[in-house]
Structure 1
Amino acid sequence: MSAMSDAGVVRYPLLAGRSLALVAITLSALNLRSAVTSVSPLLLEIGTDLGFGLEAIGIIGMLPPACFALFGVATPYVVRRFGLEQAALIGLAVTSAGVLLRSVAGNPAEFIAFSGGALGGMGIVGVVMPPLVRQYFSDRLSLVSTIYLIALHLGALVPPLVIVPLANAVGWRYAIALWAMLAILSAAMWAMARQRPATKAGKSLASTGAPAAVGVLPKQVWRSPTVWNLTILFGMTSWNVFILFTWLPTLVLDAGYAASFGGAMVSLLITTSMVIGIFAPSLTIKLRNPTAIVFGCAVLYAVGYGGLALAPQTAMVAWVILLGIGSSLFIVATTMINTHSRTPLGSAVTSSFVQGIGGGIAVLGPLTFGLIHSWTGTWGASYGLVAVSLAIIGICGFRARHHGTLEDDIERYAAHEGNA
């Protein structure tokens, strides 16, 4: 039996005609960070075997946001040609191929190139997930967004905890190749989801997946203040997340702790963000004004960074927990892709623009944070750069006082053109 929500959306049982889609979305989300975090703890060992040093490791560290940005911008053309589900399948196939091929790489260039392929596939999948959530679960956005984002965090958290013992047991090549199986399984789920006939509920909520259902980025998106504001918010949030992923172990080490403690702090950061992620999507969707959430996360970021800079030995665990809560702003910004659109088409366009352009912004975060430290010899100026990013996040939060949508902006633009 269905029920009508406040927004006028018919609600069906969660799995009505959509069980395979839910499994496919969940498994796909597990892939979105595993190709990154399954290899980072082994880079020194891999570098010894393949003959590359810290410079190559720095390049590998820049690959995730760079590939997410590049392939994110290109994804609408894949979606236009093949449809959302097929685009997810293609992205997962590319990811699995890249993961497998880099496990047999014989030199640094091959390892970097195949890693780029794996991350590029992840970039495609990351862009199509929000519109697929809206397409299949427009009546369950809060719940399914939570499932998707928790799975994304688990995909980041689990690999670094098990990859080193696994590599010790079977060698690093087999250890990193095994993660391709997850991408292959996810692709198989999307293949089955496309072929399985939908129930009445499934048909009413999910499109047929025809390629013509989604187009390339319309020119109006470049003039949408709503999407641009979300893009900058997402970019600055990702900027800080990648800074912490890249440099938190070094900051912990510089504070006098053991290297193993630095790794534990990264896991604590991800775990904290994941726990907050249980509540963040629902709260983001229900609140008409997300400003308080954005401001709150920015303040927690500021306190956490301030603790790292001024009193790292006083309460390191507390500072990292605060940074983890602040990093849940990434979950909020990702959820806002669907609150800033009304249709699967609008979600696909918004997702591509936000994750593509925003990912490009994030590329500069860990790079400039480290370069400024190298130029000045201290972390003070690097923390100053972070302060600027938090101020920008605050401005974006103020401008996001209401959940406007891309479609609203396009309609206003069309009306203005018609009156001109």
Structure 2
Amino acid sequence: MTSQTEYGHRTGRGLDVLALVSLILIACSLRPAASSLGPVLSEVQSAYTLVEWQTGLLTALPGLIFAICGFIAVPVLKKIGLFSSLVMTCVLIAVGVGARVLVDNWVSFAGLTVVALAGMSIGNVILPVYVKTRFPDRASLGATAFTVSLGLGAMFPAFLTAPITGHFDNWRVGLGIWALVPVCALVTWIILKLARSVPNLDQPEQDTHQAGPPRQHIFTSPKARYMAMFFGLQSANACVQFGWLPQIYRDAGIDPVLAGLMLTVVTLGGIPGGFLAPQIIMRNILPRFFLVTFSVSAVCGYLGLLLIPTTVPVLWAILLGYGGFAFPAALALITGRTKDVSITARTSAFVQSSGYVLAAIGPLAVGGLLGLSGGWSVPLWFMVCVAALMGVTGYLAATPGTVDEELETSAPRGGASGTCGGTTGLRGGMPGQK
């Protein structure tokens, strides 16, 4: 039995399952273009005869493109609507991932990687809006499916690209096969649209005699600023760990294979974190306490690496892995601390784009401090400070209240009442669905 919601989409048991599958597939598409490259980076270097700066640029592209393109996601959503925006996301990823393995020069490979990353960046921002509108009564289910799928979309390409490459003796197959994920996501998304089960964010006609309060920039909300700092600091932690953790272990005297395994232990923490952290945020289960524990765990992990890295190396990896629960928690805060759909979209864009700018500084700072100091003591003390600040900003971001309420408080008085941006209702200024 089906019914229709205020966003005009049909719901029912079968349609809800299909909507969840579509969410999972789209979310799984948002990481393979980045996480599949590392395992075959040496093959790509050889194929295109890359020098160091070219290789460095390829590895730096995800954070850079996520920061830049995240700002255009909301304008794209407003211009073409939810359905077309996520179609664009899937198409860009599929084309970028699939076509880059067919070209024979580095410039084209890098350009098509940018195309895929641009699609991923737009999807990063827009999917929380889909979660908010398609699963309004099951927010924790939608948030959990989103964050767990992001983790799976990063983990499986990282684990399987090298074996696939070895099996076919062709790195192009190992990279290109991940284009199938966004293709499958696109198929389910179109089927969902044909079944009229995609939320329609049309804004109803408003009374032109009423004037809502002036539109407030998300930056004016202290909670949004803390969320952006928390997102950026936890992303800086993740980027440093992905880029430097094996080397930290190796420089301490640990076998290279075991050093790589320690990073695997850290990344595996993303799966239980994807299940648990959204539940903590969406169900309001002592969120400030848990966010602080993520920070404390990361601090202890870095201190262990600093003081006794070879004594119980797996313990430091486990502690850093638990600290990584901050990532799904940061994403869940976007939907858990906003109410109006337009505020969710704008907060998502602001938090992720500005957060990735902050995140990009982390690996660069660690590399610079390593070069200046000649050892890991100074960089690791720096990361202890970063992890501690993550706890402070997480505590402040998870305080009771919403971004919507803070924007309403900061809006100049006068005019008709309503939500931020001069709109009323949950549609909050979203455009007509295309």
TM-score (norm 2): 0.86
Letter in 2 for 1:400: A
Aligned to 1:208: 200
- Report the Cα offset of residue 37 of structure 1: 1.4
Q: Take 1:86 and 1:13, find their aligned partners in 2: how far apart are those partners? A: 20
Contact residue 15 and residue 192 of structure 2 kept, 8 A: no
- Report the Cα offset of residue 261 of structure 1: 2.5
Q: Take 1:212 and 1:365, find their aligned partners in 2: how far apart are those partners? A: 44
Aligned to 1:278: 275
Equivalent pairs counted in the alignment come to: 400
- Report the Cα offset of residue 212 of structure 1: 8.7
Letter in 2 for 1:403: P
The aligned runs of 1:232-271 (5 Å cut-off) are: 232-271=229-268
- Report the Cα offset of residue 15 of structure 1: 3.5
For residues 262-319 of structure 1, the C-alpha deviation after alignment (integer angstroms, 9 at most, x for no partner) is: 3322221111231132221111122275221121111000011111122111111111
2:137 counterpart SS class: coil
Contact residue 81 and residue 212 of structure 1 kept, 8 A: no
Q: Take 1:128 and 1:58, find their aligned partners in 2: how far apart are those partners? A: 29
Aligned to 1:106: 104
1:342 counterpart SS class: coil
Contact residue 341 and residue 347 of structure 1 kept, 8 A: yes
Aligned to 1:380: 377
Q: Is residue 2:114 matched to residue 1:116?
A: yes
Letter in 2 for 1:207: P
Contact residue 85 and residue 209 of structure 1 kept, 8 A: no
- Report the Cα offset of residue 384 of structure 1: 2.4
Aligned to 2:420: none
Aligned to 1:195: 194
For 2:127, which of 119, 126, 129 is the aligned residue?
Answer: 129
For 1:26, which of 2, 12, 24 is the aligned residue?
Answer: 24
For 2:298, which of 281, 296, 301 is the aligned residue?
Answer: 301
**Runs of 4+ with deviation above 6 angstroms:** none
Contact residue 140 and residue 279 of structure 2 kept, 8 A: yes
Report the identity percentage: 28
Aligned to 1:9: none
Distance 1:391 1:218, change over 3 A: farther
Q: Take 1:383 and 1:85, find their aligned partners in 2: how far apart are those partners? A: 44
- Report the Cα offset of residue 16 of structure 1: 6.0
Q: Take 1:105 and 1:305, find their aligned partners in 2: how far apart are those partners? A: 41
Aligned to 1:202: none
The aligned runs of 1:348-387 (5 Å cut-off) are: 348-387=345-384
TM-score (norm 1): 0.89
Q: Is residue 2:291 matched to residue 1:291?
A: no
Q: Take 1:279 and 1:114, find their aligned partners in 2: how far apart are those partners? A: 35
- Report the Cα offset of residue 123 of structure 1: 0.6
Q: Take 1:35 and 1:273, find their aligned partners in 2: how far apart are those partners? A: 18
Q: Take 1:225 and 1:209, find their aligned partners in 2: how far apart are those partners? A: 27
Distance 1:387 1:340, change over 3 A: same
- Report the Cα offset of residue 99 of structure 1: 0.8
Aligned to 2:418: none
Q: Take 1:187 and 1:212, find their aligned partners in 2: how far apart are those partners? A: 28
Q: Take 1:390 and 1:132, find their aligned partners in 2: how far apart are those partners? A: 31
Q: Take 2:264 and 2:71, find their aligned partners in 1: how far apart are those partners? A: 30
Contact residue 303 and residue 384 of structure 2 kept, 8 A: no
Q: Take 2:305 and 2:56, find their aligned partners in 1: how far apart are those partners? A: 23
Q: Take 2:132 and 2:12, find their aligned partners in 1: how far apart are those partners? A: 13
- What are structure 1's unaligned runs of at least 5 residues? 3-11, 199-205
2:338 counterpart SS class: coil
Q: Take 2:358 and 2:12, find their aligned partners in 1: how far apart are those partners? A: 36
Letter in 2 for 1:52: L
Q: Is residue 2:67 matched to residue 1:69?
A: yes
Distance 1:253 1:211, change over 3 A: farther
Aligned to 2:432: none
Distance 1:159 1:80, change over 3 A: same
2:185 counterpart SS class: helix
- Report the Cα offset of residue 147 of structure 1: 1.6
Q: Take 1:83 and 1:211, find their aligned partners in 2: how far apart are those partners? A: 11
- What are structure 2's unaligned runs of at least 5 residues? 3-9, 206-213, 416-434
Contact residue 94 and residue 121 of structure 1 kept, 8 A: yes
Q: Take 2:373 and 2:204, find their aligned partners in 1: how far apart are those partners? A: 53
Q: Which has the higher helix share?
A: 1
Q: Is residue 2:404 matched to residue 1:407?
A: yes
Q: Take 1:229 and 1:69, find their aligned partners in 2: how far apart are those partners? A: 17
Q: Take 2:391 and 2:174, find their aligned partners in 1: how far apart are those partners? A: 42
For residues 71-123 of structure 1, the C-alpha deviation after alignment (integer angstroms, 9 at most, x for no partner) is: 11110111011112321110111111111222123233222222122111111
Aligned to 1:173: 172
Q: Take 1:264 and 1:13, find their aligned partners in 2: how far apart are those partners? A: 44
Contact residue 233 and residue 390 of structure 2 kept, 8 A: yes
- Report the Cα offset of residue 125 of structure 1: 0.8
Over the aligned positions, Cα root-mean-square deviation in angstroms equals: 2.4
Aligned to 2:86: 88
Aligned to 1:152: 150
Contact residue 288 and residue 402 of structure 1 kept, 8 A: no
For 1:394, which of 375, 391, 395 is the aligned residue?
Answer: 391
Q: Take 1:51 and 1:87, find their aligned partners in 2: how far apart are those partners? A: 36
